[in-house]
Structure 1
Amino acid sequence: MSEFSAPNEIRIVRIYDAPLQAVWDAWTDQAQVGLWWGPRGFTITTHSKDLRVGGHWTYTMHGPDGTDYPNSTLYHEVEPLRKLVYDHGGNADRPPLFRVTVLFDEVDGKTRMDMTMALADAETAAQTRTFIRHANGESTWDRLAEYLGKRLEDEEKFVINRSFEAPQDVVFDMWTTPEHLARWLPPAGMEMRFLRADIRPGGGSFYCMSNPMITMYGRAQYEEIQRPKLLVYTQQFCDEHENISRHPMAPTWPETMRTKVEFNAEGPNRTRVTVTWDVAGKATAEELAVFLAHRSSMTQGWSGSFDKLEAVLAA
């Protein structure tokens, strides 16, 4: 691992566009935490939540396949609006799986969450990291961002994060250089080629994605580019003449989507990418419902592309 965390630790940092009080309340209020806690597709039932030193949070996590996962949290430190320290996973019959320290800080009107899970040793940490990856465990913190956006601004969003072991400039180039984009962005089994690419504020691109069974065209319009920190663009499906169309297999998908990509350095050779997707312009109630219903499949799709980006960066 990088200098970002110790070998026996798993560290996750997020910046939420929300006041510190709102993020703290989302974590600590029993009614709110039940609306976002857990990987995408999971729900929870809280049996008791006693937020104090020595108190417990006891809950059951319900998997999308119907499996129930009992959970218990024991709080060691509770500093309102500042810090939580707790053991996760222990009960009367077994020791805790790991100790969690969460720090909350206000940064320019936003909230920085810095969470560290400390495990027994590096091997256990590596195993847990793999488990979290396969279970989409980090989508929990993406769901928190979505929840805060809906609660505070009444905005419906899709959010996904991934950290890459590469410098910020290099990762930024992977998103803004057409030949790099074509190597990792398309879904598994599809090839991508740019028919036109003018990646600058006010510029646009026209591209094609295909496999032996289907060919799709799309176009992007770039609204904001701040190297190496920010990229904002809108996307639409279109035909080969750039006339606006709809996804060939999802005719009620919204016509125009906006993608916001934020690049944050987590060290000299580590970069966290945050993708926020929302509907641009008007959308019908049916289109918005389709967008919200497909957050799990969007997670799978972006995760597959991110896996390919990791491979490209490693090569």
Structure 2
Amino acid sequence: MSLPTKKAPAKANEIYLERLYDAPVEAVWDAWVDPAQAAHWWGPRGFTLTTYSKELRVGGQWRYTMHGPDGTDYPNIATYFEIDEHRKLVYDHGATDDSPPLFRVTVLFTEIGQKTLMEMTMTLATEEAATQTRHFIKQAGGESTWDRFAEYLAEQTESKQRFVINRSFDVSIETMYEVWTKREHFEQWLPPTGFTMNFLRADIREGGSTFYCMTNGSNVTMYGRAFYLTMQKPNRLVYTQQFCDQDENISRHPFAPIWPETMQTTVEFTTEGDHRTRVTVTWEPIGEVSDAELQAFLKERGGMTKGWTGSFDKLEAHLATTH
């Protein structure tokens, strides 16, 4: 599978984002333009959506409100300027009855086998406005919209329940792969905020395994192990994880006794320029999973986002001091 030639770097007043979804372009398009489907994923994690009307035609509008988890409402009127089915959408975003749009959005959908490359460009009036919008998107967790979209597509097209999170870092893909596969790096940033990590065994290779301990230094100590299934340097890692006791017998999360026994982690590394890499983490329960365990997993997506965000913040700080 080959990807299209990389587009030119975004202009100073543009915000560019791309995602590769494991779903056919028809499914991706329909999930975008059907308000009933959009209600399942549109907006940052924790947000809900109410659509009042939608006319998918040139000159038509989508009127909706995003409801934040804190009760704040974000009304929006999107006006469509270009619609090329399964290929392209162009619309203005962020208008209300009393205010003009915030920026123009161009979305390209490219079929790549049974996958779909989504490329989004947000064009703002000035470079300063783009900088402010980037900051707002980060603070609001706006990019989690596209993680939720991946989760929704997996459920619709594969009947899979997953958790997805993306984060981009200003390092090369080779460096990013290294900090995920060398123990001296991995144990510095992976543990949750407030915890430290120590490998009791670290055989990080395809077919190898690790056994580790995490502690907050006072009243919580957790043990776990991982088995590495796939290591495709520098693009992909797949490993399973289980909680254990100190003798490496399988146990459960100390604060979540009905958490699934075995989780599979898939990590994909994607270049976003000469010195920038996006990390995509996909988590899913595998093996024998009860309904109660699956529901526990689904209910904790917000907590997983918070946990991985904390680890990614630590990774960003670690990279700043070591690379």
Bin for the TM-score computed over the shorter chain: over 0.9
Structure 1 residue 306 and structure 2 residue 312: aligned?
yes
Equivalent residue, structure 2, for 1:257: 263
Equivalent residue, structure 2, for 1:187: 192
Structure 1 position 314, deviation (Å): 2.1
Equivalent residue, structure 2, for 1:282: 288
Equivalent residue, structure 2, for 1:174: 179
- Structure 2: give runs of 5+ residues left out of the alignment: 1-7
**How far, CA to CA, are the matches of 1:42 and 1:143 in structure 2?**
11
Structure 1 position 4, deviation (Å): 4.2
Greater mean deviation of Cα atoms: 34-43 or 60-69:
60-69
Residue identity opposite 1:163 in structure 2: S
Equivalent residue, structure 2, for 1:154: 159
Q: Could you say what secondary structure the match of 2:16 adopts?
A: strand
Structure 1 position 118, deviation (Å): 1.1
Q: Could you say what secondary structure the match of 2:187 adopts?
A: helix
Residue identity opposite 2:252 in structure 1: R
Q: Could you say what secondary structure the match of 2:319 adopts?
A: helix
Residue identity opposite 1:244 in structure 2: I
Equivalent residue, structure 1, for 2:87: 82
Q: Any runs of at least 4 consecutive aligned residues in structure 1 with deviations exceeding 4 A, and if so which?
A: none
Provide, for residues 246-282 of structure 1, a one-character-per-residue CA deviation record: whole Å limited to 9, x for no partner.
Answer: 1111111111100000011111111111100000101
Structure 1 residue 200 and structure 2 residue 202: aligned?
no
Paired residues, number: 313
**How far, CA to CA, are the matches of 1:166 and 1:93 in structure 2?**
42
Structure 1 position 6, deviation (Å): 2.2
The counterpart of 1:37, out of the listed 36, 39, 42, is 42
The counterpart of 1:103, out of the listed 84, 102, 108, is 108
8 Å CA contact 2:236, 2:268 repeated in 1: yes
Structure 1 position 109, deviation (Å): 2.0
- The Cα RMSD (Å) is 1.1
Equivalent residue, structure 2, for 1:17: 22
Structure 1 position 30, deviation (Å): 1.9
Residue identity opposite 1:238 in structure 2: C
TM-score, L = length of structure 2: 0.95
Residue identity opposite 1:186 in structure 2: P
Structure 1 residue 141 and structure 2 residue 157: aligned?
no
Structure 1 position 201, deviation (Å): 1.2
Equivalent residue, structure 2, for 1:93: 98
Q: Could you say what secondary structure the match of 1:267 adopts?
A: coil
Residue identity opposite 2:287 in structure 1: G
Structure 1 residue 269 and structure 2 residue 267: aligned?
no
Q: Could you say what secondary structure the match of 1:151 adopts?
A: helix
Structure 1 position 140, deviation (Å): 0.5
Provide, for residues 167-201 of structure 1, a one-character-per-residue CA deviation record: whole Å limited to 9, x for no partner.
Answer: 00000111101110111111111111111111111
Equivalent residue, structure 2, for 1:131: 136
The counterpart of 1:68, out of the listed 68, 73, 76, is 73
**How far, CA to CA, are the matches of 2:319 and 2:82 in structure 1?**
40
8 Å CA contact 2:75, 2:96 repeated in 1: no
Q: Could you say what secondary structure the match of 1:89 adopts?
A: strand
Residue identity opposite 1:77 in structure 2: E
Residue identity opposite 2:177 in structure 1: F
**How far, CA to CA, are the matches of 1:85 and 1:154 in structure 2?**
31
**How far, CA to CA, are the matches of 1:16 and 1:90 in structure 2?**
28
Residue identity opposite 2:51 in structure 1: T
8 Å CA contact 1:4, 1:266 repeated in 2: no
Structure 1 residue 209 and structure 2 residue 214: aligned?
yes
